[in-house]
Amino acid sequence: MNKQMTKKRIRIYLLCAFGLVWGMMIPYFALGGSYSAQDTPYRQNATGFILSCSMLCPALSVLLTRKVTKEGFPFTGTNSLLLGISLKDRKWIAYLLAMFLIPVCMELGGWIFYLFAPGACDPSLLADYGVTANLFPLVSLASIFGATTGCIGALGEEIGWRTYLYPKLEELYGRTKACIFGGVIWGVWHFPAIANGHSFGTGYWGEPFSGFVLFTLNCIFTGTLLYVLTMAAGSVWPAAIMHAVNNSAYTYTALCFREDAVQGLLSNSVFRLAITDIPVALIAVILLVRIKRFGKNFYY
């Protein structure tokens, strides 16, 4: 295990990943792009496209780094892109978890939030989407299917973070620290977008620094889930599916949220995310504590 070469590869990868994405996002937002609700559809749609391109940059960075450092491009096996799929030895469970764990956690998180703000749940808002409450499970399932098949953007990110950076960090620092450091790096990578309204919008308490902190924590927790899935399945695909579902799935609690019904701290997006993230955080903390025990049992 050549640690110097591993550190060199990490540096080159981060230079590419941050250079490509920050080089695209910072000028774009500096020239007027944002997520603000006051934007015209012109700017909002362009922001979506910029984000989609950004999601492919980690994979591009991996290809560049592997090319420069002569690491090769194996599709399967150790130190590979982990593009193989195997459903044997109960690995199919990872794919099911990838599709359904995050929506379940998001719903639980939403209901935890509504414990603090019961008046904010308004099922009549579903009518704006042409849906009734009893048919909503079908809509949620359809959004999960759609996200699963359209996971190319998420695949681009996961190839970079979970199949390349996290294993390299694990070589240097061990599994637990790899999840924490990797989550921090992944969170910082999103900073230009968060500073301009991604995830939290604008005008929230402590903007943008509270957003930076909370999103980084979210990345640590979600990144841990994604990495554990990757290790368990020996494949990047469950992580790509889970990432895509996390970005796109509809949940009942999210669509029924009436923003003008909450007051005080709960009206701030950072506090809302902090509460709704509790289920994911709990699972991630348990995995981080027990992750060393999984070491020999993971098929990786």
Partner 1 sequence: MAGLLIKDYYTMRGKQKLAALGGFWLLLFVVRFVLIPTFAPPDASDRQVDRLAVETILVTLYITIDVFLYLYVIWTVVVNLMKADDGRKTKQYYLSLPVSHRQYVQSKYIFFLIVCFVLHSFTTLASYMVMSNMVTEQALTLIVQFSNMQISLTCLTIFLAALELPFYFALGAKKGKVFKEGLAIGLFFIVVIYMMFGDLELFEKIGLLEFCMYLGDHPMAVTGVILISPILSLPSFYVSYRLSVGLSEKRGDNHE
Residues in touch with partner 1 (CB under 8 A): 40-43, 45-46, 48-50, 52, 75-76, 129-131, 135, 138-139, 141-142, 145-146, 149-150, 152-153
Nearer to partner 1, 48 or 295 (CB): 48
Instruction: Work out how close the CB of 242 gets to partner 1 at its nearest, in angstroms, rounded to a whole number.
Output: 17
Our CB check for partner 1 shows the closer of 158 and 277 to be 158
Decide: helix, strand or coil at residue 121: strand
Please give the Cα distance from 46 to 53 (Å, whole number).
11
Nearer to partner 1, 176 or 248 (CB): 248
* Cβ distance to partner 1 smaller for residue 154 or 217: 154
Which ranges constitute the DSSP H helices of the chain? 3-30, 41-68, 92-116, 136-149, 152-160, 166-173, 175-189, 191-195, 209-233, 237-248, 252-255, 269-276, 278-290
C-alpha span between 11 and 109 (Å, rounded)? 36
Smallest gap, in angstroms, from Cβ of residue 142 to partner 1?
Answer: 4
Our CB check for partner 1 shows the closer of 129 and 209 to be 129
Q: Report, in Å, the least distance between residue 278 CB and partner 1.
A: 30
Tokens of residue 147, six digits: 């996200």
Using the minimum distance from each CB to partner 1, give the nearer residue, 97 or 99.
Answer: 99
Give residue 189's identity as a one-letter amino acid code.
W
How far apart are alpha carbons 197 and 199 in whole angstroms?
Answer: 6
To the nearest whole angstrom, how small is the minimum distance from the Cβ of residue 72 to partner 1?
14
208: cis peptide before it, omega within 30°?
yes
Of 16, 20, 30, 98, which Cα lies nearest the Cα of 62?
Answer: 16
Return the number of the residue (92 or 111) whose C-beta is nearest partner 1: 92
* Owner of token pair 């910072």: 26
**Minimum distance from CB of 146 to partner 1 (Å)?**
6
CB 59, CB 152: distance < 8 Å: no
What DSSP character marks residue 84? -
- Report, in Å, the least distance between residue 176 CB and partner 1: 33
- Under 8 Å between Cβ of 224 and 293: no
- Minimum separation from the CB atom of position 56 to partner 1 (A): 8
Which of 160, 158, 169, 174 is closest to 229 using CA atoms? 158
The owner of tokens 């953007």 is: 153
**For partner 1, which is the closer residue by CB, 218 or 246?**
246
Q: How far is the CB of 205 from partner 1 (least distance, A)?
A: 31
